[in-house]
Structure 1
Amino acid sequence: MDAVAIERAAGCEDRHWWHRERRAVIARELRRLGEPGRAIDIGAGGGGNTRVLLDHGWQAVAVDCCEAAVEIARRRGLEAYRSDPRFLPVATAEYDFVLALNVLEHAEDDQAVADEIARVLRPDGRALIAVPADPALWSTHDLSLGRVRRYTREALADVVHGAGLLVERMWSWNVLLRPVVSRRRRDSVGCDLGTPSPVLNGALSAVIRLERYLPVASFPGVTLMAGVRRPRGGGHVTGRRPR
């Protein structure tokens, strides 16, 4: 995503239905973890999700490979650094929680990114990973965002396990709107995450919030979420180090 797109996303994320509900997902996962600790938000963009971590009592730092994103995060008062996600500028086993939303799909070597997540996690540390689901949904939208791939459940599990991490939970998100998204992406050109009208934004918010109460997490969705843990006393730590 280029600097203009990041500025646009940061400007609308507080009211956009997709961003708001994804933050609700993050908040629910943080409540599951219990006592806050140290966290790193990889691919943080302008730091909107990093603020969720801070709001829940975590000591959080934002990291992104785009300088424009880092500057936006810093203007928001966040501790933020520019870094390649394969070579994070932090010590090994430094964090209790890693947030990596829509990061792996941008890397040609997604295993290297997963290895780095494992490296910076403390034993028994957790991560929340999100990736775009299902190669059948591939479209110009993905190309415009600089993605390399979309994932099946098996492909995401393979990358996570390859880093020596355990998948505790994996579920689909944005399930109810998948038919609409699939049709729109077949007919559209470029990114389709523009800000909808207030009425449409409200309607889409209501639909995706409904997923909180329906047993649809095992059905095909637009996004895959995975709750991941680094085993206590197990799992390999790669030889990669910060540059």
Structure 2
Amino acid sequence: MDIKEIDILGDDIDNHWYYKSKALAVSKVLQPYKKDTIFDIGAGSAFFSKYLIKNSGVKESWCVDIAYDSEYDEQYAEGLIHYREECPEVEPDLTLFVDVLEHIDDDEAFLKSYVEKAPKGSYFFISVPAFKFLWSQHDVFLGHKRRYTLKNLENLVENSSLCPVNSFYYFGSVFPLAVLTRMADNLFSKKDTPKSQLQRHSKFVNSFLSFLCTQETKIMQKNRFFGLSAMCIAYKKD
């Protein structure tokens, strides 16, 4: 989770439709896979690790982020979270890259560096922002380097010595609205004023968008057409 967006949403972040829906989507995708011990790369506030501990049986999460200025451990619900600036010598069942690779200049080299350390048979979950034509000042604000198609993401995964199990788009239910919003932003916003499009909504709007995206999780893994996020589950074969 991006620290900049934590500053925008504050205590409302757990109930915001976007993060609430994405956490549910991640949890559903990972349901069939072993995940007692996970790496959460670029974890920020550890939002996704905490969600998976409470809802998906994760027992231990190693949260890795260069933003951490100290190392410490936290007992959370029935699990344990370790906050580290660098990756520890631990063999995880699963490694998460939730909205991380789009920030990295050499995304392939970065991903490979974690694949090389991972045990054979371990899984990787990756999500990235989708479609270059959706690029806006929102991406500039968050420090993105690129947006991806499913083909881009699959090539990246395969070039990093991972075998894709499934890849798909998510947030297709709000995609038309997002396209209109980004187009308006690109037309009318000042080009030298990066800003986030993430915002707090009324209870009704937040509940409605959350409902749409929650329903979408039932069919998302068959969606190879459009969405705001591209997602992939893969494993290390050798």
Query: What TM-score results when the alignment is normalised by the length of structure 1?
Result: 0.83
Identity of counterpart residues, as a percentage? 25
Q: Residue 230 and residue 209 in structure 1: after superposition, are their counterparts in 2 closer, same or farther (change >3 A)?
A: same
Alignment of 1:6-21 (within 5 A): 6-9=6-9, 11-21=11-21
Over 3 Å off, 4+ runs: 1-10, 70-78, 213-216
What is aligned with 2:84? Answer: 81
Deviations, residues 97-141 of structure 1 (Å, cap 9, x unaligned) = 001110110001101221023123210100110000111111111
What is aligned with 1:229? Answer: 235
> Is 2:106 the partner of 1:109?
yes
Q: Residue 32 of structure 2 aligns to a residue in which SS?
A: helix
What residue identity is the alignment partner of 2:171? N
Q: Which runs of 5+ in 2 are unaligned?
A: 190-194
What is aligned with 2:39? Answer: 40
Deviations, residues 128-183 of structure 1 (Å, cap 9, x unaligned) = 10000111111111111100000112211121111111111001000011110111
Alignment of 1:138-217 (within 5 A): 138-188=135-185, 189=189, 190-214=195-219, 217=223
What residue identity is the alignment partner of 1:226? C
Q: Which has the higher mean CA deviation after the structures are superposed, 188-197 or 103-112? A: 188-197
Q: Determine the C-alpha separation between the residues in 2 that align with 1:141 and 1:4.
A: 11
Task: Give RMSD over aligned pairs.
Answer: 2.5
What is aligned with 1:86? Answer: none
Deviation at 1:25, TM superposition (A): 1.4
Deviation at 1:78, TM superposition (A): 3.3
What residue identity is the alignment partner of 2:217? R
Q: Residue 200 and residue 113 in structure 1: after superposition, are their counterparts in 2 closer, same or farther (change >3 A)?
A: same
Q: Which has the higher mean CA deviation after the structures are superposed, 137-146 or 52-61? A: 52-61
What residue identity is the alignment partner of 1:15? N
What is aligned with 2:65? Answer: 64
What is aligned with 1:90? Answer: 88
Q: Determine the C-alpha separation between the residues in 1 that align with 2:102 and 2:229.
A: 11
Q: Which runs of 5+ in 1 are unaligned?
A: 84-88, 235-243
Q: Determine the C-alpha separation between the residues in 2 that align with 1:172 and 1:11.
A: 28
The number of residue pairs the alignment matches comes to 224
Deviation at 1:32, TM superposition (A): 1.0
- Is the CA contact 1:53–1:59 (under 8 Å) kept in the aligned structure 2? no
Q: Residue 50 and residue 10 in structure 1: after superposition, are their counterparts in 2 closer, same or farther (change >3 A)?
A: farther
Q: Determine the C-alpha separation between the residues in 1 that align with 2:100 and 2:115.
A: 14
Deviations, residues 9-62 of structure 1 (Å, cap 9, x unaligned) = 4532211011111111122123211x4432110111101111123221331111
What residue identity is the alignment partner of 2:125? L
Q: Residue 186 and residue 128 in structure 1: after superposition, are their counterparts in 2 closer, same or farther (change >3 A)?
A: same
Q: Determine the C-alpha separation between the residues in 1 that align with 2:50 and 2:108.
A: 27
